[in-house]
Amino acid sequence: MIVGGAYLFLPEYFQSLDSRVRDFYFKIRGNEKVSDSVIIVDIDEKSMKALGQWPWERDKFAQILVNLTNAGSGIIGLDIVFSEPDKTSPSYLNKKLNLHLKNVPDYDLILAQTIQQTPTILGYVFDFENTNDIEAPQIPAVFIQKHKKYGEFLPQAKGVLPNFEPIQKAAYSSGFMNNIPDNSGIIRSVPLLISYDMQIYPSLAFEMYRIASGVNQVVLDYDTAGISSIKMGKEDILCDRFGRLYVNFRGGFKTFHYISAIDVYKNNFDKNIFDGKFVLIGTSAYGLMDLRSTPMDNIVAGVEIHANVLENLLFHDMLYKPSWIELVDLMLIIVSTAVVIFILSRFSLVYILISYFGLVTFITYLNYYMLFHEHIIVNVIFPLLSVVFSLISVLGINYMFESRQKELIKRSFSKKVSKQVMEDLLKNPDRADLSSREVEATIYFSDIRSFTTISETLNSPKRIVDFLNYYMDEMVKVIEKNSGTIDKFIGDAVMAYWNAPLKIENHADKALQSALVQIGMRDVLNIEIHQKYNFDVDYGIGINTGNVVVGEVGSSGRSDYTIIGDAVNLASRLEGLCKAYKVRLIISEFTKEKLTKEYIIQLLDIVKVKGKHKPVRIYEVLAEGKLEDNQEKYEELALYKKAHDAYMEAKFEEALQLFNRLYKRYDKYLYQLYAQRSSHLLEQNIKDFDGVFEFKTK
């Protein structure tokens, strides 16, 4: 029941582990024989040694396209973007140096004319981080969405990096080259289609396949869960509800037929190889950084992923996760659990162990068979977990009742509290009330800023984990030193609380002092991080104090000592508001009231956060100490109070002048924000004003 509930309500939590099991299946299966339908022309080290570092002069690249076309290539796809003019072109240099020479060669024009005369499909890249208003390349096909009722399921791009305009205009068609890894940094599925500016665009491999099929209309059929299928003529292309294709990888690096670009350039190759074939031009050179991780290999040229997708489309053997598979997964979980319990209740230990390994082997083989023979993805982790948990639960029931109190404390707090607190709990278990109870606690949330960008910068699951372990370790040391309890790590976020399981005096001060130390150590922390990972890290912290329910939460077989309540939600919201106000630390009015030491505190706003109906005052803590001892801050906050009072009294003209004065003098985003609000409210001629700002999102 527990595993079934986890499967239904926490599918993403175990997705990475299940994906890694499938990766292991790929390695067991090994490389498959590929067809000769897809050939890769490789801009490799050998080619760059002969023709110079990339990018080459485009007349040379044009010669490669000419030679491929003369060899009878069916369709040529470029896993390359020519986003700028060729700066080695005599025409470009003529204009740049203002030489006014006539009849100088234009390499971009030569390449454009070659593309126009050859079966070449260009590649380009969508941007999911930065917005621009550049138009995506036109596609000579119609994409129709049927039965779509609500929601966007295709990946939504914000911008695009196309080819240099003369080159792009010369192409018959283009496809995007984006291959998006999952959270572990491994590419297991690829988007076939991406939505940009209300239009749908195909991937490079998909567009090459569509053109070869001679189909000019593609239909996306939707159901309530998302995209049910992509219809191309009479063919249904199997994908998930987001339009992604689960790739049935043929093998590791260089499984497909590679031919060096220099050999094509010199016409030193067997012409029959390319006759009527799909040709992809890309790079395997380490210096050009187009290397990816797949289930079959840690380093694979990006162009080979396109080749795998093309091969899957050609032979219709891509992996597929149908909508009804969840029912099969649940049935496997239930049956596996029932079989284990039946065996444990009827047979001796020897038969139990034999049956156990037999059942595990059967589930493992069934999953392998479904994956590579039926090409259907069946969850393997949850059935195996159900077997393991059932076995452990029944065999270990006597042990679980021995030393129950100390074992409960160890399980609940071994990674939550400091060593000293842990020893105190073990020596005096009666001091820790583990039953559910209501206490006043101070709750802390911190989160790394722009973690998606950091993950892309690291571009390696191991480096991401190494960085997070280093960062979390430094954060946790500070929290534990101040008697805090670590509740959980949520991706790149940390949740902690004070005043449970043991009573902590002045818990609001201890939480705040932890945050101030963490903010103060940021520059020192970044020295190490920059040396190791070549970027700087920033983070936001939210702190709230209030009544929460604390205790063991979960089921009899699986639970966790944690806190729940509205005060926890508010603390999480405050951390999120750090982004809105561009600060690193926000506390609530409830925490401020509980502080016993002197701090320099600035009122940020009176807000209604998402999910709460009552407004709350939020503050930024600038430093520990007396405000009167810091003359500059004293003057700044005095002027700010005057401006904020005018704002609250709906004297927006006066407030606008004061906030502009503050912003000009102190260059703080908060003052700019209030100036913008005052200006807007002044224009709206607002009279009935309570000063509360409501956030609609988290």
pLDDT tens across 210-267, in order? 999 999 999 999 988 788 889 998 899 999 889 999 999 999 999 999 999 999 999 9
Query: Which pairing describes strands 278-282 and 38-42: parallel, antiparallel, or unpaired?
Result: parallel
Using one digit for the tens of pLDDT, what is the confidence trace for 340-357? 666 666 666 666 677 777
Between 403 and 242, name the one with better pLDDT.
242
Please report whether residue 198 resides in a domain: yes
Between 339 and 34, name the one with better pLDDT.
34
- Note the pLDDT of residue 390: 66
* Token pair recorded at residue 541: 């912290």
- Note the pLDDT of residue 502: 80
Using one digit for the tens of pLDDT, what is the confidence trace for 438-496? 999 999 999 999 888 888 888 888 999 999 999 999 999 999 899 898 888 888 899 99
The answer to whether 658 touches 675, Cβ cutoff 8 Å, is: no
Distance CA 550, CA 66 (A): 72
| One-letter identity of residue 338 | A
- Note the pLDDT of residue 435: 63
44 and 138 belong to one structural domain: yes
| One-letter identity of residue 298 | N
619 and 650 belong to one structural domain: no
* Token pair recorded at residue 339: 């079989």
**Confidence label for 687 from pLDDT (cuts 50, 70 and 90):** confident
199 and 99 belong to one structural domain: yes
CATH value at residue 609: 3.30.70.1230
* Token pair recorded at residue 521: 């150590």
Please report whether residue 25 resides in a domain: no
Q: What are phi and psi of 159, to 5 degrees?
A: -155, 180
457 and 601 belong to one structural domain: yes
- The per-residue pLDDT of the chain, averaged, comes to 86
* Token pair recorded at residue 174: 């283009």
pLDDT above 90 for 365: no
SS3 142: strand
Nearest alpha-carbon partner for 314 in 339, 287, 341, 277: 277
Distance CA 154, CA 688 (A): 43
Q: List, in sequence order, every residue forming a beta bridge with 231; answer none if it has no partner.
A: 219, 236
pLDDT above 70 for 97: yes
Residues 6+ positions from 426 with CB-CB distance below 8 Å: 406, 409, 410
H helices of 649-692, where?
Answer: 652-666, 669-684
Picking from 345, 379, 400, the residue at the C-terminal end of a domain is 400
- Note the pLDDT of residue 416: 56
491 and 614 belong to one structural domain: yes
Please report, for residues 18, 115, 196, 437, 577, the alpha-carbon distance to residue 160 in angstroms, rounded to integers and kept in the order given.
33, 21, 8, 54, 30
Residues of the chain with pLDDT > 70: what percent? 86
The boundaries of the domain holding residue 411 are 404-625
Q: Would you list the DSSP string of 184-213?
A: TS---EEESEEEETTEEEEBHHHHHHHHHH
Strand ranges (DSSP E) for 468-538?
Answer: 485-490, 493-498
Distance CA 182, CA 464 (A): 13
Using one digit for the tens of pLDDT, what is the confidence trace for 165-187? 999 999 999 999 999 888 888 99
pLDDT above 50 for 401: no
Distance CA 170, CA 163 (A): 10
pLDDT above 60 for 583: yes
Picking from 248, 283, 315, the residue at the C-terminal end of a domain is 315
Q: How many domains does the chain have?
A: 4
How far does Cα 372 stand from its chain's mean position? 28
* Token pair recorded at residue 161: 């990096």
102 and 197 belong to one structural domain: yes
- Note the pLDDT of residue 589: 95
- Note the pLDDT of residue 612: 76
pLDDT above 90 for 363: no
Rank 117-126, 146-155, 417-426 by mean pLDDT and report only the highest.
117-126
Task: Fill in the DSSP letter of residue 506.
Answer: T
Q: What are phi and psi of 216, to 5 degrees?
A: -110, 0
Residues 6+ positions from 386 with CB-CB distance below 8 Å: 3, 4, 333, 334, 336, 337, 340
Distance CA 395, CA 397 (A): 6
| One-letter identity of residue 175 | G
**Confidence label for 427 from pLDDT (cuts 50, 70 and 90):** low
- Note the pLDDT of residue 613: 80
455 and 418 belong to one structural domain: yes
The answer to whether 306 touches 205, Cβ cutoff 8 Å, is: yes
pLDDT above 60 for 528: yes
Using one digit for the tens of pLDDT, what is the confidence trace for 605-637? 999 887 778 899 999 999 999 998 889 999 999
310 and 327 belong to one structural domain: no
Distance CA 594, CA 588 (A): 10
Using one digit for the tens of pLDDT, what is the confidence trace for 53-67? 999 999 999 999 999
Residue where the block lists tokens 């919201």 = 573
How far does Cα 415 stand from its chain's mean position? 26
182 and 59 belong to one structural domain: yes
Task: Fill in the DSSP letter of residue 269.
Answer: S
99 and 200 belong to one structural domain: yes
Please report whether residue 23 resides in a domain: no
pTM over 0.85: no
- Note the pLDDT of residue 590: 96
Please report whether residue 21 resides in a domain: no
Using one digit for the tens of pLDDT, what is the confidence trace for 41-55? 999 999 999 999 999
Distance CA 586, CA 601 (A): 10
* Token pair recorded at residue 404: 């129950």
Distance CA 542, CA 551 (A): 22
Handedness of CA 527, 533, 534, 540 (dihedral sign): negative
- Note the pLDDT of residue 501: 80
Picking from 565, 595, 625, the residue at the C-terminal end of a domain is 625
Distance CA 609, CA 616 (A): 8
Calculate mean pLDDT across residues 488-508.
Answer: 89
Using one digit for the tens of pLDDT, what is the confidence trace for 655-679? 999 999 999 999 999 999 999 999 9
Distance CA 546, CA 365 (A): 52
Between 359 and 241, name the one with better pLDDT.
241
